[in-house]
Amino acid sequence: MKSSVEQINPVQYRIHVEVTQDEVDKSFAKVLKDIQKNARIQGFRPGKAPLDIVRKFYQGHAVQAVRDDLIRNHLFDALKSTDLKTVANPVIEKFDEPINGKPFVFSAVVDTMPVIKLEGYKGLEISVNQMEYEEALLERELLNLRQRAGKAVPFEAQDGAESPKAESGMIATIGHTVLKDGVQLNAFDVNEYPVLLGSGQLLKGLEDLVLGLTTGESKSGKVTLPEDFNDKELAGQELDITVHLKDLKKFAMPELDEEFAKDHGADSMDVLKTRMKEQIENYLTSTNKSLLESALVDKLIELSPIEAPPAIVDSFIDAAIQERYQGNPQLPKLLQNDEVRKQLRPSARHKVIRILLLLHIFNEEKMSVSDEEVQEEVSRVLAQVTLSPAERKNIRSIRGRVEQHTRENLMLSKALKWLEENSVITKTINNSAV
93-119 tens-digit pLDDT: 888 889 989 999 999 999 999 999 888
pTM (predicted TM-score): 0.76
Looking at residue 397, its pLDDT comes to 76
pLDDT value at residue 344: 95
Q: How far is CA 142 from CA 135, 145, 202, 270, 370, in A?
A: 11, 5, 21, 12, 45
Q: Which residues of the chain have pLDDT under 70?
A: 158-161, 433-434
Write down the CATH number for the domain with range 151-252.
Answer: 3.10.50.40
Residue positions counted in the chain: 434
Cβ neighbours of 47 (radius 10 Å): 13
pLDDT tens digit sequence for 73-82: 999 899 988 9
261 and 274 in contact (C-beta within 8 Å)?
no
Rounded Cα distance between 414 and 57, Å, is 64
Query: What is the topology classification, in CATH, of domain 2-111?
Result: Alpha-Beta Plaits (3.30.70)
| pLDDT tens-place string over residues 345-384 | 999 999 999 999 999 999 999 999 999 999 999 888 888 8
d(CA 322, CA 332): 9
- What is the domain partition of the chain in residue ranges? 2-111, 151-252, 261-306+365-429
Give the CA dihedral 200, 347, 340, 88, nearest 10 degrees. -170
Q: Which of 161, 255, 164, 153 is nearest to 216 (CA)?
A: 164
CA-wise closest residue to 372 among 410, 401, 398: 410
Matching fold, domains 2-111 and 151-252: no
The pLDDT of residue 390: 74
Using alpha carbons, select from 307, 314, 337 the residue that is nearest to residue 325: 337
Say which amino acid occupies 165. Answer: K
Residue 142's pLDDT is 95
Task: Give how far the C-alpha of residue 231 lies from the chain's centroid of Cα atoms, to the nearest Å.
Answer: 20
Residue 114 is given by DSSP the state P
Helix ranges (DSSP H) in 228-387? 258-263, 269-303, 310-324, 331-335, 338-364, 371-383
The whole-angstrom distance between residue 46's C-alpha and the CA centroid of its chain comes to: 56
Q: What is the structure's pLDDT at 266?
A: 95
